[in-house]
Structure formats: C-alpha cells, structure tokens
Amino acid sequence: MTDTIPAHGGVLVNRLLTGEARREALAQSRELPRIPLTDWSLSDLELIGIGAFSPLRGFMTREDYDAVLESMHLSNGLVWPIPITLPVEPTLARRLRPGQRVALVGQADDVVYGILEVTQVYPYEKRREAEFVYRTTDEAHPGVRKLYQRPETYVAGPVWVLNRRKPAQFSAFSLDPAETRLAFQQRCWRTVVGFQTRNPVHRAHEYIQKCALEVVDGLLLHPLVGETKADDIPAGVRMRSYQVLLDAYYPKDRVLLAVYPAAMRYAGPREAVMHALVRKNYGCTHFIVGRDHAGVGHYYGTYDAQKIFSHFRPEEIGITPLFFENSFYCEKCDGMASEKTCPHEEAYRYILSGTKVREILRRGERPSPKFTRPEVADVLIAGLTEEVGVRGD
C-alpha cells in the first residue's frame, strides 16, 4: 500500500544528515560562526528537518516572509500561513554574508543541532508581523509578546539537522512524518483524521473525535509538546491523561498517539491552517478544526479558525478539514451534543472553560464526569498537585 496523501508541495522534505555526512558536518561546525537558538527556534529547526514543515527546507527568505504575511502563500504560490524565521541579534547578523555557513547551537546547552547556509539577512517590522499573523499588536497576547522579545533581524537559508532533542518521557511517542506514514500503512488506514491539542482531552473533544472516527479509518491524536504558555497544563501530565483515556475509552486498533514537538504560537485562524498542513505532512487525510482552534483570550471569533479555510481552494490545502460546532453535555439530551444537534436551552448544557477547569484542578477538586472522564481527572489532579508541591505555592 502506498501513501494515500502526498506531503505539502509533493515531496516529504528530509534535512537530517546521517553517517559520514553528519560526522563531516559536525567536524566542520567547530570552525563556523555560531548562532544560538531558543527552544522555539530549535523546535522550528527540527520540524524543518523531519519534513513536518514541508515544503520548507530552511528558514524563510524575505520574499517568502512578505508573501506569507500578505497572502498566506509562499512566493512560489503554495499555501503557507505563518512565517518560519530565524531571529538573530543584529550585532551577529551584521557579520554574516550570503554563502557563508553557520552552526546552529542550543542557547541552553551549546550543542550543535544544525548548519545553515546563509542566503539573506534582513530586518523586519514586529508590529507589521503581529498585525498579519496574530490580528493584534497587543503585548498581552502571548504570541505577540514572544515576537516583541525577539531580535530585530532574520537570517534565511537552507538547513541541515545534525542532532535532535528527544525528551526521554516522550521517546515512545516521538514519531517523524515518515514514521507515522509507515504506521498508517501497516494498519491499512487509507483515511486518517488528525487532532491537534495542547490541553487534556475532555468529553467534548472525545465526542468530536469519535464522530470523525465514524467516517475515517484511524485517528492520529497529536498533542503539541513544545513551548506553551506558563499556565498551560504541563506536557507530561497531559500525556498521562491521553494514555489513560485511550486505554479505557477508545478502540486500540483505531488510534495512534504521537507527539508534535512544536512551539505553540496562539495565532488562531492562521495557525489552524498551518496545523492542518503539518498533519497532511504526517500523512493525515482529514483534520479536525473545532471552536477557537489555536486561540487565546478573546482575540479571535469563535469560528474564525474554520472560516479562514474558505480563503483557499480545496486542492490548495490538500487535506480535508472537518468543522465541528461547540460540543457539551446536555442534561435534557442525557449525553454529548452540539449546537447543531441539541435543541435545549443553555441552562441544561454543561460547559467549562479551560481556565475554570485549571482552577478546579489546582484546588484539588474533581471536575464533573460530564466534562472529563474520572480516570483523566485523577491524572490531572495528581499531576497538578505535584506541580504545586514542587513550586512550593
């Protein structure tokens, strides 16, 4: 059985050096100028290297950057909604020249993770990028705040990845796009729906995932485990919650759990499109887009992340988005429902925001089983109690 869906742009990119080529590059890197990378940039480097960001082969040039901001397309016409760029301190950037190679090293550990061949060095306007990508220049927005903290210069060029970070706690779930595609083939899944999450899966998530499973062969549960907001539930706790949920409530032959090692941008509609394209690269044929996908606060309309897909022709995206209304437990219906299927008044609907759930959990209280499964609640309470104990709150 062959792949059922091509990578974005037609070819799954692979920028991972191995064997003798890697050894030679590591030896050369000792003589190269060094660019320190934050955790965010390290995530982007890895995702370029493994092909999750196909068709990108490196950090964006000025032409691609401007095209993405203004049209949500690369300069070659392919859909891409968010700039993937490498910020560098101006004092270092001024010493770089096109054609020069530089070593990309971890800011925290000084490990050489990759090599970049410089094609361009260019300044950018932070407020302009914020307006296009986040639809706001408000520094209270976590993505905008991160953007404003970055250096004022971008360095562009193709990259090669020499070393990777694979956290031990996620090693069993760290599958590259080539590996998830192989897993789908081995399971004989011709249609696969991807689900992006940075939160524990609650009953509404479960409901829409199982609705999707009625029409496809398999589900890729693909939680983001890179950098998130400080008040988001830690990735390790979330992963334990996914495992107990899948063990108790999902058919084991219909679901694959794997981690997505990206930083969360909280870019709402644009990030929803990027999440879809990335899951296409992982081999998914369908992608769930729920309410306020990749949103934060009140910066985006409830269904803006669904409406944005109307800006593109289906063949431009190449993956089928599945749009779901807000879901909830309804007392009158005596089960899970959505605004499309439930005729009852709001008073009968059990809905909690993520903020309210975190408040409940941090008090050591148990969320209602109408919101989350008891096994998941146990994991979350234990995990967050442990987190508070470690911090000494």
- Please give the C-alpha separations between residue 209 and each of 97, 191, 226, 264, 288, in angstroms, as whole numbers: 49, 14, 23, 21, 8
pTM value? 0.94
pLDDT computed for residue 359 by the predictor: 79
Q: How far apart are alpha carbons 281 and 284 in whole angstroms?
A: 7
Token pair of 148 as six digits: 């404003």
Which distant-in-sequence residues (6+ apart) come within 8 Å of 229 by Cβ? 142, 264, 266, 296
State the burial class of residue 10 (Cβ atoms within 10 Å of its Cβ: 0-12, 13-18, 19+): exposed
Residues with catalytic roles? 198-199
CB 242 within 8 A of CB 256: no
- Residues 132-157 have pLDDT tens digits of 999 999 999 999 999 999 999 999 99
Q: Exposed e or buried b for every residue in 60-90, given b needs 16+ CB within 10 A?
A: bbbebbbbbbeebbbbeebbbbbbbbbbbee
pLDDT-derived band at 129 (thresholds 50, 70, 90) equals: very high
Mean pLDDT of 230-245: 88
Say what percent of the chain tops pLDDT 70: 96
pLDDT-derived band at 366 (thresholds 50, 70, 90) equals: confident
| DSSP state letters, 61-72 | PHHHHHHHHHHS
Instruction: Between 294 and 393, name the one with better pLDDT.
Output: 294
Mean pLDDT of 203-225: 95
Q: Residue 53 pLDDT more than 80?
A: yes
pLDDT computed for residue 335 by the predictor: 94
Q: Residue 226 pLDDT more than 50?
A: yes
Q: How far apart are alpha carbons 37 and 44 in whole angstroms?
A: 10
Instruction: Between 4 and 304, name the one with better pLDDT.
Output: 304
Q: Residue 52 pLDDT more than 50?
A: yes
Q: How far apart are alpha carbons 337 and 326 in whole angstroms?
A: 9
Mean pLDDT of 115-124: 98
Mean pLDDT of 29-57: 97
pLDDT computed for residue 365 by the predictor: 83
Q: Residue 345 pLDDT more than 60?
A: yes
Q: Residue 392 pLDDT more than 60?
A: no
- Residues 8-25 have pLDDT tens digits of 999 999 999 999 999 999
Average pLDDT, the chain: 93
List domains and CATH numbers for the chain: 19-161 (3.10.400.10), 175-260+266-391 (3.40.50.620)
- Residues 158-211 have pLDDT tens digits of 999 999 987 778 889 999 999 999 999 999 999 999 999 888 888 999 999 999
Q: Residue 389 pLDDT more than 60?
A: no
CB 266 within 8 A of CB 133: no
User: Which residues sit opposite 195 in a β-bridge?
Assistant: 221
Token pair of 88 as six digits: 């560098």
Other Cβ atoms less than 10 A from the Cβ of 206: the count is 18
pLDDT computed for residue 387 by the predictor: 56
Range in 26-30, 161-165, 240-244, 377-381 the model is least confident about: 377-381
Give the H/E segment covering residue 190: none
pLDDT computed for residue 353 by the predictor: 64
CB 349 within 8 A of CB 328: yes
Looking only at the bridges linking them, the beta strands covering 286-289 and 34-37 are unpaired
